[in-house]
Structure 1
Amino acid sequence: DWTWNTVATASFEDGNGVLQYFEFDPKGVHVGDAAQIQAAGMIRYEPIRNLYFKLKYTYFAKHYADFQPEDLDEEDLYGRESWKTPSYGLMDFHAGYKLPIKDVDLRISFNALNLLGTKYISDARNNDSFNRQPFDDFDAKSASVFFGQGFRYSTSIKLKI
Structure 2
Amino acid sequence: MVSLISLAVLLEPQDLKPAVLSPRRIKAADVPRLADLYLHAYADGTYNPNTEKAADRIRAIFEGARGAPIPEASFLTADADGNIIAAIVTTNRVLGDHGSETAFVAELFTHPDHRRKGLAERLLKHAMHALHRAGHRTLAVTVNIDNAAALALYLSRDFRRLTQPAENN
Query: Which band: TM-score by shorter chain?
Result: under 0.3
Larger radius of gyration: 1
Q: Which structure's residues are more often helix, by fraction?
A: 2
Per chain length, whose mean CA-contact separation is higher, i.e. which structure has more relative contact order (CA < 8 Å, sep 6+)? 2
TM-score by length of 2: 0.26
